[in-house]
Copies of this chain bind each other. A is one copy, B any other.
Amino acid sequence: MHDHTPPPPKDDPAFAKHDHHRCAGEGLARAEEILAGRKVRLTPVRRRTLEILLEDHRALGAYEVLERLAADGFGNQPPVAYRALEFLVDHGLAHRVRRLNAFTACRHSGQDHAPAFLICRQCNAVAEAPADAVRSALDTTADKLGFVIERSNIEALGLCPACRDAA
């Protein structure tokens, strides 16, 4: 792509300041909770992958994640990252942001979630907005056509509050 190592966004979860260490820790705890019920394992690679995503309030490309995994002694071939990321996405612990070809930790796991991503074209911040209303409008639309939605991706590009003010 072209914007490969963007500056880390100032703030982000909904573009407001927050206690980051706490929100990362909670993410992991919630993940274990969620997976406990299902017959799947949060293996070391998977766990570490989630940690990596949680450490950063931005969307990371698969190869970026891979580098970090390799640095930690895991394999250094693409499937290592893609598989772990796919696992996390399948279990609702992470989301794929298609516009950026990137992945981000889910900030509302556990809750029934239909996320919408708000991507700032200026600072690259990515906010996961609660999108229940959006999703339900989408369901209604699909319903009229007899289409059954299984998964959805809702993404918007624009300006976050900080960048809009700066402009």
Determine if B150 and A158 form an interchain contact, defined as CB atoms under 8 angstroms apart.
yes
* Residues on B with beta carbons closer than 8 Å to the beta carbon of A151: 156-158
> Which of B121, B130, B146 has a CB less than 8 Å from the CB of A141?
B130
With a CB–CB cut-off of 8 A, which chain B residues contact A15? Answer: 145-147
Count A-side interface residues using an 8 Å CB cutoff.
38
Contact of A148 among B131, B153, B164 (CB under 8 A): B164
B146 engages A161 (CB within 8 Å): yes
Q: Does A138 contact B (CB under 8 A)?
A: yes
Interface residues of A (CB under 8 A from B): 14-15, 98-99, 116, 118, 120-121, 127, 129-131, 133-134, 136-138, 140-142, 145-161, 164
Q: Is the CB–CB distance between B133 and A118 below 8 Å?
A: no
How many angstroms from the CA of A131 to the CA of B133 in the assembled complex? 13
CA distance A52 to B153 in the complex (A): 26
